[in-house]
Amino acid sequence: MTLLIAAFAVLAYELRPLYPPPLPHDARALEFVDRNGLFLGAVIGRGERRTVAVPLERIAPAFARAVIAAEDRRFFIHGAVDGPALLRALVRASFERRLPGGASTISMQVARLVEPVSPGALGKIREVVLAQRLENGLSKRAILQEYCNRAPMGSNLYGVQAAALSYFGVDASQLDLAQASLLAALPNDPVRLDPYGHWAGLKARQRYVLARMRSTGVIDAAAEARAASEHVALRPEAAGIVAAPHFLFHLLPRIPEGQARVRTTIDRPLQEFVETQVRDVVGALSGNAVHHGAAIVLDNRTGEVLAYAGSPNYFADDDLGRNDGAQALRQPGSALKPFLYELALERRDVRPNTILADVPTAYALPGARVYEPVDYSNRFLGPVRVRVALANSLNVPAVRVLERVGVANFQARLRELGFAHLTKSADYYGLGLTLGGGEVTLAELARAYAIAARDGDPIDLVEMHDARTQQPTRDPSAHAPAWSLVTDILADSHARATAFGVDSILTLPFPAAVKTGTSSDFRDTWAAGYTRDFTVAVWVGNFDGSPMRGVSGVTGAGPIWSRIMLELYKHGDPPPFASPDGYVRKPICAETGTRPPFPLGASPNCPVVVSEWLDRDDVRRLSPTPVVVTTRGREYDEWLIHQPARERQATRILFPHDGDVFVYDPHSGPAQRLKFEIAGPRAAPLEVALDGKTIDASGGDYLWALRPGRFTLEARSALGRSRVRYIVESASARHRRQGFSAVSLK
């Protein structure tokens, strides 16, 4: 008896009445205007699922009859399950060896819309239970009303009212038979029956619905024929939206119920210009497998979003146009480097006159892997200043700077700047973080660059004029000069000339700081930059992640950035950037970062003198250029070997290295030779001696036949002397495998 009571209790609980949650009943369209009151668009509903509920009495009877005829003709005379229809489906399924289909009642479909179930037999059983619970709590008319208001109608439209207003511009109560039968056909397959993309398929399904209505006696043959042949005019897909569709739907979930009009921060003329440029540039690059792009324009003083284009065409469903490139997570390539250099300058890990080595470099990674960063050009520049390294987006120097700063510290700074999606551990990102190893959104990048334009003063994005946004506040930044230094570098067209040329698309007729980025395999390109007034950030790529063909940040996103900036200042130039506070310009040697000799350029060790911003401590610590530079360190050796003009460097033996051990196999014949690599002066004579005996290495190279012993190689010139000692051993003497090895002596 106890078990029986328990079983009844469980059954009663499982079959308790189910009451669907309420839907919004505000049938008015939500109107959006720009900052000056110009119309942007009107949208049905308030959420991502555009739904407006209306009572059954407000729905044209033709639609309700069409739904019943097409989906569940015995709806009013059976319970949650239509027994005969289910039996027929089971018999058919037994022959076809699959789960039964085509027997879902309207109650079962509503249950599935209210509480989604998993596919398969257990999901179907769950659906039947939920349908019975609906029947236990609602009348048949109430269930039909729920279906009419919840059925998927294509795109993000749900319910007959939202569909009628969007597709036909009429209220659900005004639908005629042709319109009603078209809408009743949609829930069968809202994607493949989309009115704008699959009109022929939708018309075929409409004819099925009309035939079912005639077979049940709801309409006669004449009405069926008239409705099937009637021309039904669809509203243009963009009807109701003039500009900024991605922005409107981005705002939509945050608009409170009852609000009928929203004044945004968008500037409609600028918005329309930005949308046109994204569309034009992406279209021009289509031959390079480029399909998508996005752009954002910010007011640096207020954080207001002035323009926001999420794709070339929001309404191009076949081209993923509704995807929002401003909010999509993508790899930023080198676009994060300015924030690394700012942090390093702020911490004084590097200074403006620091020399960084842009040379072939390998880093050991877990799992016996090796990380060898290379530049976009596959070239290395050797010793470079911080200004040159950042302006030309050199990868090896950036990784060296990240080593000094620390990945965890850099990640923490990026999080402070608003990159909220960099949530994995510092070990996960590793040294690749500064080269785009994480994922960010265009909106996050735009905000971070606006902060850079404000010398590190934080700001949040503002999207609605009616909203009262409390901007973050802080004391005046003590590190504003570091931000100003980065701005000065990003605005220096001569500093980036090696990689981009002086007159690239990034060079504008007024002061503007800019940085590009290109992710691995050309999957994403970026251009972000600013003036004192505005920040513009652009992404170009493909939503499906497929690579572009040879498109970089300067050729992909760069043209859009340039056009927008020129449009912003078509009536006048922006004010210049402020000089770094507490800094003065001083001459330094370009290759050493030291104080040049006087008169300038008198020493071969300082052939190029440049002007750089230095603070008081930098000036005090500025060492003089030595009369003779004898070495740059072994990290430059491989780079120097491959320089065609290496004879211009100070005298240095590049190979072999001091302490190297070589193995000689006496059984391999006389062809075993060692190549001496020597960097010497161009003008002064170079003397090379092996164990005190002069050899002819005037070209900087010499092939020496190996023989066992200990040797001293010396090179001398007016620019100094270099000496190395190395050993050659017989392979049989140490029982080594045949071949070559180099081992440093301890």
pLDDT at 412: 96
* pLDDT average, residue stretch 488-495: 95
**CATH code of the domain covering residue 71:** 1.10.3810.10
**Contact predicate 595/625, CB 8 Å:** yes
Q: Is it true that the peptide bond before 17 is cis, omega within 30 degrees of 0?
A: no
pLDDT for res 42: 82
Q: Is 4 a domain residue?
A: no
Which range among 38-42, 223-227, 233-237, 353-357 shows the weakest confidence by mean pLDDT? Answer: 233-237
Average confidence score pLDDT of the chain: 85
Tens digits of residue pLDDT in 657-712: 888 888 887 777 667 888 888 876 655 677 888 888 888 876 666 788 888 899 99
- State residue 691's pLDDT score: 87
Residue 545, φ and ψ in degrees, nearest 5: 80, 5
Percent of the chain at pLDDT exceeding 90: 49
Where residue 639 sits, what CATH number does that domain have? 2.60.40.10
Q: How far apart are CA 28 and CA 255, in angstroms?
A: 14
Residues 65 and 210 in one domain: yes
- How far apart CA 451 and CA 459 sit, in angstroms, is 6
Nearest Cα neighbor of 398 from 329, 330, 344, 337 is 337
Q: Is the pLDDT of residue 647 over 60?
A: no
Position 591 scores a pLDDT of 84
Q: Which of 45-54, 65-74, 305-314, 690-699 has the highest mean pLDDT?
A: 305-314
Indicate whether 77 and 176 sit together in one domain: yes
Predicted confidence (pLDDT) per residue in 438-461, tens digit:
999 999 999 999 999 999 999 999
- Our CA angle for 183, 189, 193, nearest 5°, is 65
| 347 and 310 part of one domain | no
Q: Does the residue 555 lie in any domain?
A: yes
Q: Are 76 and 190 in the same domain?
A: yes
Assign residue 651 a region (left: φ > 0; alpha: ψ between -120 and 50; beta: otherwise): beta
Is residue 33 assigned to a domain? no
Same domain, 269 and 400: no
Looking up tokens 């987006």 gives: 393
Residue 741 counted as domain residue: no
Same-domain check for residues 114 and 192: yes
Tokens found for residue 517: 């980025």
- Residue where one domain finishes, among candidates 229, 251, 277: 229
**DSSP secondary-structure letter at 151?**
S
Degrees to nearest 5, angle at CA 161 with 158 and 163: 55
Tell me, yes or no, whether 372 and 460 share the same domain.
Answer: no
Q: Report whether 26 contacts 52 (CB < 8 A).
A: yes
End position of a domain, from candidates 621, 648, 679: 621
Q: Are 179 and 206 in contact (CB under 8 A)?
A: no
Q: How many CB atoms lie within 10 A of CB 130?
A: 22
Predicted model pTM: 0.75
Q: What is the pLDDT of residue 209?
A: 94
User: Do residues 370 and 462 share a domain?
Assistant: no
- Of 44, 268, 288, 289, the C-alpha closest to 169 is 44
Mean pLDDT of 320-329: 94
Residue 23 has pLDDT above 70, yes or no: yes
pLDDT of residue 237: 72
Residue 54 CA to residue 392 CA, distance in Å, equals 60
- Where residue 115 falls among pLDDT bands split at 50, 70, 90? confident
Q: Which contacts of 360-368 are long-range, i.e. CB under 8 A and separated by 24 or more positions?
A: 360/396, 360/638, 360/639, 361/396, 361/399, 361/400, 361/635, 363/399, 363/431, 365/430
3 found inside a domain? no
- Asked whether residue 451 is assigned to any structural domain, the reply reads yes
Report the range out of 111-115, 215-219, 556-560, 693-697 with the highest average pLDDT. Answer: 556-560
pLDDT by residue (tens digit) across 250-289?
A: 998 888 877 878 999 999 999 999 999 999 999 999 999 9
User: How confident is the model over 198-214, as pLDDT tens digits?
Assistant: 899 999 999 999 999 99
**Once rounded to an integer, what is the mean pLDDT over residues 571-584?**
94
Residue 240 pLDDT more than 50? yes
CA distance 118 to 126: 9
> What pLDDT is stored for residue 3 in this prediction?
52
452 and 304 both lie in a single domain:
yes
DSSP secondary structure letters along 428-463: HHGGGGGGT-S-B-HHHHHHHHHHHHTTT-----B-
Considering only CA atoms, which of 434, 345, 432 is closest in space to residue 386?
Answer: 345
Residue with tokens 């289509």: 286
Residue 738 above 50 pLDDT? no
Residue for token pair 């240095």 = 652
Q: Report the pLDDT value the prediction gives residue 632, as an integer from 0 to 100.
A: 56
Instruction: Identify residue 362 by its one-letter amino acid code.
Output: A
**Mean pLDDT calculated for residue range 188-202:** 89
The reply to whether 591 and 684 lie within a common domain is: no
Closest to 528 measured CA to CA, from 440, 462, 620: 440
Q: What is the pLDDT of residue 683?
A: 56
pLDDT reading at 7 higher than 60: no
By residue count, the chain amounts to 746
- The number of distinct structural domains making up the chain is 5
Domain that holds residue 528: 263-330+441-575
Going by C-alpha positions, the residue among 420, 419, 418, 486 that lies closest to residue 452 is 486
CATH code assigned at 360 = 3.40.710.10
List pLDDT tens digits, range 25-35: 655 668 899 99
Q: Is residue 19 part of a domain?
A: no
Answer yes or no: is pLDDT of 405 > 60.
yes
290/404 same-domain check: no
Is the domain of 318 the same as that of 376?
Answer: no
Confidence of residue 223 (pLDDT cuts 50, 70, 90): very high
Final residue of a domain: which of 397, 412, 437?
Answer: 437
Q: Tell whether the model's pLDDT for residue 170 goes beyond 70.
A: yes
Q: Determine, yes or no, domain membership for 37.
A: no
Query: What is residue 89's predicted lDDT score, i.e. its pLDDT?
Result: 60
The Cα 193–Cα 206 span in angstroms is 10
